[in-house]
Amino acid sequence: MVNYFLMGSYAKILSFLPESNTMNVEWPLPENDPWSTPFAQALLYKLELFPGATVLDVAAGGGIPSFHLAEKVGPSGKVLAVDINQYQVMRARSVQGAHLPWLQFEVCDMRHLPPDLPKFDRITGNLSFMFFRPDRPTVLKNLLHFLKPGGQIVLTFPSLGTFDTLWHKVDMEMQQRGFEQERKGLNEYLTERPSAEHAENWLRELGLEKTEAVEMPLEVKTGPGREFLEHPLLRGGFLDDIYECFSDPVLAEEFMTDIASDIESFTPLHAIRCAMSGWKPE
């Protein structure tokens, strides 16, 4: 998920501080990011950090919560934040500048990490588990290779139940209009979504201990029409999944415009934040 607000948030923090004091800046989670920050809060709720810890942050995007993690582990620690999107990495590096030199942003696919990468005390990924598909257990297994014995992994994702009122509305409309092929595509997407129970079972089957998957609701507010269709949270990764069910983009736009005109039938919208956590045996 693209973090549109991140660069401005951190740059604004730095701009109010004398240059001589910027190395002492605290890097809180940006208050004006309505998506990445709430999920990062769920991640930090389960993550047990300590000064000097080494952390691998996968699908790190623009750096929420990589900057915050680096602040917590301190200069004796190390945070390696990887993302497949080079523009996200470049943006994060631009924000970082000379600050937090023990934080390193690199372009890398978390599904194909270099085999000579060292092992880490902690592995994190905010909203990363969305991108483990289609074979989430295998990606998770490969990732655990880089976790030290006694180390903890914490990943967040929107779990089963997220925006169910919207999916129900779309499914009903597709059925009523005879959009059988589009409806098939939608249901394939919905069936693939993981639940908290799925996540915890996968952790347990991979031999982790003290496994847990905690869910926290999050209401997403929107208005009708273009506000709904262009909502930065809904369009990026959720409404797009509906559009992709259509082979005809004009028909998709007409269908979604009709959906957007009747948001009262499926709001309020709720996302389900899930933080999955497990510990590698000593």
Query: Average pLDDT of each block of 10 consecutive residues along the chain (282 residues)?
Result: 37 34 65 89 96 97 95 97 95 95 95 93 93 86 96 96 96 97 94 92 97 95 95 84 95 97 96 96 96
Domain residue spans of the chain: 6-159+194-220+272-279, 164-188+222-265
Which of helix, strand or coil describes residue 217? strand
Which are the contacts of 159, defined by CB distance < 8 A and separation ≥ 6?
A: 193, 194, 195, 196, 199, 213, 215, 272, 273, 274
Enter the tokens of residue 137.
Answer: 């257990």
- Please report how many Cα atoms fall inside a 13 Å half-sphere around the Cα of residue 77, on the Cβ side: 24
CATH topology classification for 6-159+194-220+272-279: Rossmann fold (3.40.50)
Burial class (CB in 10 A: 0-12, 13-18, 19+), 250: exposed
Which of helix, strand or coil describes residue 124? strand
Which of helix, strand or coil describes residue 213? strand
Distance from C-alpha of 60 to C-alpha of 81, rounded to nearest angstrom: 6
Greatest alpha-carbon pair distance for the chain in Å reads 65
Residue with tokens 């082979």: 247
**Is residue 128 a contact partner of residue 244, using CB atoms and an 8 Å limit?**
no
What is the model's pLDDT at position 34? 84
The residue type found at 226 is R
Enter the tokens of residue 77.
Answer: 């620690």
What is the model's pLDDT at position 4? 32
Distance from C-alpha of 85 to C-alpha of 65, rounded to nearest angstrom: 17
Enter the tokens of residue 158.
Answer: 């929107």
Strands 147-158 and 269-279 come out as antiparallel
pTM for the model stands at: 0.85
Q: How far is CA 67 from CA 58, 101, 103, 154, 173, in A?
A: 13, 11, 7, 16, 43
**Is residue 220 a contact partner of residue 39, using CB atoms and an 8 Å limit?**
no
What is the model's pLDDT at position 192? 85
Concatenated DSSP letters of 134-148: T-HHHHHHHHHTTEE
**Is residue 139 a contact partner of residue 111, using CB atoms and an 8 Å limit?**
yes
Which of helix, strand or coil describes residue 208? coil
Which of helix, strand or coil describes residue 106? strand
What is the model's pLDDT at position 111? 87
